[in-house]
Homo-oligomer: A and B are copies of this chain.
Amino acid sequence: MKIAVLTGGGDCPGLNAVIRSVVRKGVQDYGFEFVGVRDGWLGALRDNMLPLDVSAVRGILPRGGTILGSSRTNPFKHEDGVRRIRDSLAAHDVDAMIVIGGEDTLGAATELSRQGINLVGVPKTIDNDVAGTDYTFGFDTAVGIATEAIDRLHTTAESHMRTLVVEVMGRHSGWIALHAGVAGGANAILVPERPFDIDQVCAWVKKRFEINYAPIVVAAEGAVPKEGEMVLKDRSRDEYGHVRLSGIGEWLAREIEGRTGTEARTTVLGHVQRGGTPSAFDRWLATRFGLHAVDAVRDGAFGTMVALRGTDIVRVPLDETRGRIKVVDPALYDEFEVFFG
């Protein structure tokens, strides 16, 4: 049996750990052969593959990124995409694929599976918003990096008695903001799932200053004010038409300064949240996902993805998770309001 392994979407710590465990188990326990698809669906379209054996995956467990490369290419936006992928797979005598990716990559996988390509999915995203699994690998690493940053910012906030706004990743879901905000002892946590009231945020800020501590506000990049989506859209491109780096974090600092008369600064954590060595938790999860994905291929359980439920790895039909984002449950968010202000 010959299996093609593909990694798609944004970079995520743990991708290499999945690739390694897939290949180690497949070769050693089942005698499978492997090829790696370069740069996500792009390599599948272009028949850009590399051989993948046990020696190719040695030493990659602790390394961030993916030795296969990645891209955000969507095969259904290319003419004849499905046929070209079929041809690539056939040219290499590939029997099945293991597709490691987030919502977009797995979405394409779901459709390809419907059209008859044998594949098993592995959910991946630092944002933790893939439906059907308790956690995705990469998330714990991102939360750890953000929490360490918040720890550091506390001391500077206190020294200067100013608000520090920390903008973390999370365009559609607030998992990183919520976990890192709770772990970092933030005084306000803003998530896309719940449009915020800027007056409430300023009230929390003032309450914190009143007891002689400096506020930390953690905002997901997708957080929006209740009244103000338009305001944010205006700010989203600069005078040259380029998308600006700055976003909700910068806007918040400005509003807090203007409305409370106290100093505020912003830090945008950015790409450091998605690179580098994975945490122990993510290496563990990614390794187990890889082992179970190979078992799913061996069992012919195509059209499923592996998923974490409690401490078990289970198989979930890709169809069930397609098009659904796992968002932060309001009841969970409310648990932590006692810490705001």
Which of A's residues lie within 8 Å of B, judged by CB? 7, 11, 13, 15, 21, 24-25, 28-29, 39, 58, 61-66, 69-71, 134-135, 140, 143-149, 151-161, 164, 179-180, 182-185, 213, 238-240, 242, 244-246, 249-250, 254, 265-272, 274-277, 279-281, 283-284, 287-288, 291, 309-311, 335-336, 338-339
Contacts and interface: CB of A to CB of B under 8 A. Distances in A.
A250 to B, nearest CB: 5
Given A144-B281, A310-B310, 4 more contacts: A65-B155, A65-B158, A147-B283, A184-B280
24 contacts: A11-B155, A28-B338, A39-B161, A61-B185, A63-B155, A64-B156, A65-B156, A66-B159, A69-B160, A69-B161, A135-B311, A144-B281, A152-B271, A152-B277, A156-B275, A157-B275, A184-B280, A245-B250, A265-B271, A266-B270, A279-B279, A287-B336, A291-B338, A310-B310
A157 B245 CA distance: 17
Nearest to A158: B65
B311 A134 contact: yes
A21 B336 CA distance: 9
